[in-house]
Amino acid sequence: MPITSPLIIALDYASLDAALCMADRLDPQRCRLKVGKELFTRSGPEVLDALHGRGFEVFLDLKFHDIPNTVAGAVEAAAQQGVWMVNVHAGGGRRMMEAARERLEAGGLDTRLIAVTVLTSMAAADLAEVGITASPAEHVERLAQLTRDSGLHGVVCSAQEAERLRTLCGDAFLKVTPGIRPASAAAGDQRRVMTPAAALAAGSTHLVVGRPVTQAEEPMQALAAIEAELAGS
């Protein structure tokens, strides 16, 4: 049965064992999983096989950002390993994103390809330090339109920008939003955050949740509480 949940749980762990221990407490019918830089760098593709074998759809979050040929090859390699979704940095530009998309199309690979706009850990002051004087919302809009024009399936953004992007880029354009924090959870290093229900109402198509579930004493209870919040929204 295809999974209908918008939830993607971030498996940010330092070992394959720890990641699989958490995966074994989760249900592939109720969430997808995200494998990021730390886990993949430690475990390699083995983690993808292990999660696919358990029935999970996987978002490989390596945020590729390099010259077009290199990124196209990396995205193709990810897709050939059967991942559901893969991402690049929109800041790599149109030619980079088009090269990645074209490589997937040429190979008949149906992995969703999305681009990170402005990281949810960044606020206006962080952007100013790297020479971007636009507000986070303005910069996200610019990068999201570039991503859409490059033919990608959607973006990673904060839920705070989802509503504006729904107007600009449409409902079908994916808005994958990390920085999700239930009302009682600590923001930690995240800056542009939103609750699960507010994020869904704002137009997020997928919610990325890490520590609020994986660091909870009872992860399945934390997941169920988020599901209940979403069902009531």
Residue nearest to ligand OMP (CB): 210
Q: Choose one: 40-48, 133-141, 202-210, 225-233; the region binding ligand OMP (CB under 6 A).
A: 202-210
Work out whether 6 is an interface residue with ligand OMP (CB under 6 A): no
Least distance to ligand OMP, CB of residue 122, Å: 8
Work out whether 116 is an interface residue with ligand OMP (CB under 6 A): yes
Work out whether 120 is an interface residue with ligand OMP (CB under 6 A): yes
Render 102-118 in DSSP notation, one character per residue: HHHHHTT---EEEEE-S
User: How far, in Å, CA of 148 to CA of 160, rounded?
Assistant: 19
Work out whether 119 is an interface residue with ligand OMP (CB under 6 A): yes
Binding mask 144-183 for ligand OMP (x = CB under 6 A): ------------x---------------------xx----
Asked if 126 is an active-site residue, the reply is no
Assign residue 108 a region: left if phi > 0, alpha if psi is -120 to 50, beta otherwise?
A: left
C-alpha separations of 39 from 11, 35, 45, 144, 213 in Å: 8, 6, 10, 27, 17
Residue pair 111/83 in contact (Cβ under 8 Å)? The answer is yes
Amino acid at residue number 206: H
**230 marked as binding residue:** no
Q: Where are the alpha helices (DSSP H) in the chain?
A: 16-23, 37-43, 46-53, 68-80, 94-106, 124-129, 136-149, 162-169, 196-202, 211-214, 219-231
CB nearer to ligand OMP: give 50 or 62: 62
Least distance to ligand OMP, CB of residue 212, Å: 6
Binding residue (CB under 6 A) for ligand OMP from 203, 210, 222, 226: 210
What residues line the site for ligand OMP (CB under 6 A)?
Answer: 10, 12, 36, 61, 63, 87, 116, 119-121, 156, 178-179, 190, 208-212
Q: Which residues are annotated as a binding site for substrate?
A: 12, 34, 61-70, 120, 181, 190, 210-211
